[in-house]
Amino acid sequence: MDPEALRKYSALHPKPAGLTLQYGTAGFRTKAEQLDHIVFRMGLLAILRSKAVTATIGIMVTASHNPEEDNGVKLVDPLGEMLHPSWEEYATQLANAEEQELQKVITEICQKAAVNLHKDASVFIGRDTRPSSKKLSQSVIDGIQVLGGQYHDYGLVTTPQLHYMVCCQNTQGQYGKATLEGYYEKLSKAFMELIKQSHCSGEGQRHLKIDCANGIGALKLSEMKPYFPQEVLIHIYNDGTKEKLNHLCGADFVKVHQKPPGGLDMKPNERCCSFDGDADRIVYYYKDTAGHFHLIDGDKIATLISIFLKELLAKVKQNFKMAVVQTAYANGNSTRYLQETLKVPVHCVKTGVKHLHHKAQEFDVGVYFEANGHGTVLFSKAAETKIRQLVKEEKDDEKREAAKMLENMIDLINQTVGDAVSDMLVIEAILALKGLTVQQWDALYTDLPNRLLKVQVADRRVIDTTDAERRALTPPGLQEKIDALVKKYKLSRAFVRPSGTEDVVRIYAEADTQENADALAHEVSLAVFHLAGGKGAPPQP
């Protein structure tokens, strides 16, 4: 490490006085103008991580569904997973170090994580379409070059595409080719093979309107269009040419406001979907003939995929263990449907993709989705090997056909992370293969009415939870109060959890009617306000 070069470059990316940021599930996120020193230092950290694990590391410059003026940065580990939790701490230390301490902090990280600075290092870089992203990715490159690492800049890509590239590179091409063409070819080939196995023509079914949140998804879908078969007609809206990123559109807007995005004209019973700003989340929706809006969120996506996979697994007659992983935010009726009707085990974990991903790895087939539309399916190495073997060797036609479908599903799904493009193709293939309309899919179960609220508090750390965030341990008396309130309503439940990023407590409530869900959420928010140090005026109904 050249201390002089480090000092010189660090001075070009100065840290604003008094600014401290925390590396969370989404990496660092804040106003774009406060990020320059952070991305420079993450360039440094990516090189250290790469040397520590002797593999290529990814760096993505994006703030996903946040407003256009924000930006962020996150690191991608060797198999396309999120950065290891122990390194999240190093990221926070390095980001918040004063300039004169930078070298000392780097040396400490090298000692703690046994980093050999003489090893080679390489980093893949990607960015979204925000006006600030290009300049920030240039600062990442400065950080990489100070520590003498190799890099490949993919430029504009979706977040899941960068995760995919990193995984391809580190599996020596076993997962696929680490190029955009490789990604488009792998997904489109698997999709076409699946559609070929569909016996119903359902021609009118294949029209799909897609709201791309005025983000990177629009660019990449347009590039992928030539790879799609004739019968798939995708219509791209909110493509970023006119409006601002995520403004009144995108998966997050649709899910939170329970209404269609601007810039997309919906006719009754048309299938529509929305990506978020960096294309790692997707939700579907439609309007019925009476003009009512119906949202199909991550819970219902997980249910559709589970039905399809469970049928195929039954046909191949292997003892594969399958499960669905959810968070406490999953709608109670989705959990009931999966457990009681489908008879699929459901596991609940703490909020945050890394917790879902980790749990899903315990099964041969692990389906995980957050209600917000971020999710994927993981197949164990053993299950994948067995399925590919059955395709080659199985004599029984029905078994071999089912194994072939599973093999195509394995290739179509981006197993590294939730991927709106890949998930959309999975859903479209399943609807075509099962001859389902969007209304029939929606009718699998009815969501329980629910309400999300938040209460500002002086310090979010006063709330401590257990049982996958479904019960509050502190402050004393809060959980007993919630239990008493829940008893007042039918089919009800409620939980509270501290935000990961701000001094806010998030409240979720569901009940048999919207009126009751709203009332329960309000009463719980009052309890939080009084028992957990609420700020300002008490919540109003």
Find the mean pLDDT for residues 217-244.
92
Predicted confidence (pLDDT) at residue 164 exceeds the cutoff of 70: yes
The single-letter DSSP state of residue 337 is I
Same fold, 3-156 and 298-420+435-443: yes
Cβ atoms of 147 and 52 within 8 Å: the answer is no
Given a cut of 80, whether residue 358 has pLDDT beyond it is yes
End-to-end CA distance of the chain: 59
* Model confidence band, residue 63 (pLDDT cutoffs 50, 70, 90): very high
Is 500 annotated to bind ligand? Answer: yes
Q: Give per-residue pLDDT as tens, 387-424.
A: 999 999 999 999 999 999 999 999 999 999 999 999 99
pLDDT recorded at residue 230:
77
Going by the DSSP 8-state scheme, the letter that residue 540 receives in this structure is P
Beta bridge partners of 212: none
Instruction: Check if the beta carbon of residue 2 is closer than 8 Å to that of residue 47.
Output: no
Architecture of domain 3-156: 3-Layer(aba) Sandwich (3.40)
Determine whether the annotation assigns residue 280 to a binding site.
Answer: yes
The pLDDT confidence band at residue 24, using thresholds 50, 70 and 90, is confident
Query: In what order do the strands lie in the sheet containing 56-61?
Result: 28-31, 70-76, 56-61, 122-127, 150-156
Instruction: List Cβ<8 Å contacts ≥24 apart for 487-492.
Output: 488/520, 489/516, 489/517, 489/519, 489/520, 490/516, 491/332, 491/448, 492/516, 492/517, 492/520
| Rounded-to-integer distance, Cα 306 and Cα 497, Å | 28
What is the predicted pLDDT for the residue at 200?
57
Q: Are strands 293-296 and 282-287 parallel, antiparallel or unpaired?
A: antiparallel
- What per-residue confidence (pLDDT) applies to 192? 94
Examine the residue annotation and report whether 139 is marked as an active-site residue of this protein: no
Is 269 a known ligand-binding residue? Answer: no
pLDDT value of residue 199: 65
CB 276 within 8 A of CB 215: yes
132 is in an annotated binding site: no
Q: Is the pLDDT of residue 49 over 90?
A: yes
Provide the percentage of residues in the chain whose pLDDT is more than 70. 99
Give strand pairing partners of 57. 123
The answer to the question of whether 276 is labelled as a binding residue is yes
In CATH, 194-294 is 3.40.120:
yes
Does the pLDDT of residue 117 top 80, yes or no? Answer: yes
The residue-averaged pLDDT of 464-492 equals 97
Average pLDDT rounded to a whole number, residues 97-126: 96
Q: Does the pLDDT of residue 499 top 90, yes or no? A: no
Report d(CA 535, CA 234) in Å as an integer: 47
Task: Tell whether residue 432 is among the known ligand binding residues.
Answer: no
Q: Calculate mean pLDDT across residues 230-237.
A: 87
What integer pLDDT is reported at residue 418 of this predicted model?
A: 96
Is 498 within any annotated ligand binding site? Answer: yes
- Could you say which DSSP state residue 149 is in? -
Question: In this structure, are residues 224 and 186 in contact, taking their beta carbons and an 8 Å threshold?
Answer: no
On the question of pLDDT at 495 being above 90, the answer is yes
- CATH number at 450-532: 3.30.310.50
* 501 marked as binding residue: yes
CATH assignment, 298-420+435-443: 3.40.120
- Mean pLDDT within 525-533: 96
Answer yes or no: is pLDDT of 442 > 80. yes
Averaged pLDDT for residues 275-279: 96
Confidence label for 324 from pLDDT (cuts 50, 70 and 90): very high
pLDDT (tens digit, 9 = 90+) per residue, 201-230?
555 447 899 999 999 999 999 999 999 887
380 labeled part of a ligand binding site: no
**Residue ranges per structural domain of the chain:** 3-156, 194-294, 298-420+435-443, 450-532
Burial of 196 (C-beta count, 10 Å sphere; 0-12/13-18/19+): exposed
Q: Is pLDDT of 37 > 70? A: yes
* Mean pLDDT, residues 280-302: 97
Question: Which of 64, 122, 132, 422 is labelled catalytic?
Answer: 64
Tokens of 175: 């997962």
Average pLDDT, the chain: 95
On whether 449 is known to bind a ligand per the annotation, the reply is no
Instruction: Judge whether 497 is annotated as a binding position.
Output: yes
pLDDT band per the 50, 70, 90 thresholds, residue 141: very high
Q: Is 153 known to sit in a ligand binding site?
A: no
pLDDT of 196 reads: 87
- pLDDT bracket for residue 503 (50, 70, 90): confident
Local confidence band at 376 (pLDDT 50, 70, 90 cut-offs): very high
- Is residue 372 a known part of a binding site? yes
Pairing of strands 70-76, 150-156: unpaired
